[in-house]
Amino acid sequence: MVGNAFQFGIPDLYCHHPKWGGRWIDVKNPGKYSFTREQKIKWPVWEQFGCGIWILTAATQEEYDKLFAPPNWREFWKESWGDVPDIDELLDEINRLENERETANSE
């Protein structure tokens, strides 16, 4: 994985263990957090294709244990954001955003 300034919505960490496999992890402050626009778009798509995202809020054993349970990012979805978007709508939105970025970069 190579990160750069043009990537958006990627979780903070990718961890891999030979026995337990890989985990995409995003770190959030439990009292004050938000998802970026891109996280709201990408994470449901990743989920649709079998890629889980775990959110951790502290460096404690209780939080680490969450990595052995199903992905928990939906537990952090705020009602004020509305429903988690439909996958087909998300894919259309991603295509639109990519076209806008390509247009902006070519100008």
pLDDT tens per residue, range 61-80: 999 999 999 999 999 999 88
In a domain, residue 32? The reply is yes
In a domain, residue 21? The reply is yes
In a domain, residue 2? The reply is no
Are 74 and 81 within 8 A, CB to CB? no
pLDDT band at 49 (very low <50, low <70, confident <90, very high): very high
**pLDDT in the model for residue 80:** 87
- Tell me the mean pLDDT in the region 96-103: 88
In a domain, residue 50? The reply is yes
Look at the chain and report how many structural domains it folds into: 1
Strand arrangement of the beta sheet that strand 53-56 belongs to = 13-17, 21-27, 53-56
Report the C-alpha gap between 98 and 92 in whole angstroms: 10
Instruction: Indicate if the pLDDT at residue 15 is higher than 90.
Output: yes
pTM reported for the whole predicted model:
0.76
**pLDDT in the model for residue 1:** 63
- Tell me the mean pLDDT in the region 51-68: 97
In a domain, residue 37? The reply is yes
Q: Give the residue numbers spanning the domain of 62.
A: 13-106
